Amino acid sequence: MLAERTRAECVRWELGADQHVFEGRHFGYAHRPSGAVCHRRIEARWSERWWQVTDDILGNGVESLSWRLHLAPTQVHRVTASPTRQELLLPGQLRPCLEATGCLPLPACIEVTFLI
């Protein structure tokens, strides 16, 4: 058995008429030298057909980070790129845009993977 060390918790849950907000965090990497704590906020505004996911990784020191977003098979295009910003565009009527920003260079790659 693996020890449960994430200590995941919901820190905010609000269901409004037009807006829902969830915030949670976990301590799954707190045992590492950086002491990293992961915090996620998901906000949806239904009348605007809009949602946003914000991840914050808080800690000390240096840590390697991989952030993965798994999508249904589709074409993904890199729209803009700078050393600290990556923006991806997905096809469709709403044309959602995914953006990652940080204070350090953000290398990005788009890969096709298959789960069996």
96: pLDDT strictly greater than 60: no
- How does pLDDT run across 34-53, given as a tens digit for each residue? 888 999 999 998 888 788 88
More confident residue, 97 or 69: 69
20: pLDDT strictly greater than 90: yes
pTM for the complete prediction?
A: 0.71
Q: Distance (Å, rounded) from C-alpha 23 to C-alpha 6?
A: 15
Listed in order, strand segments (DSSP E) in 47-113 are 50-58, 77-82, 85-89, 97-101
Return the pLDDT at 49.
79
57: pLDDT strictly greater than 90: no
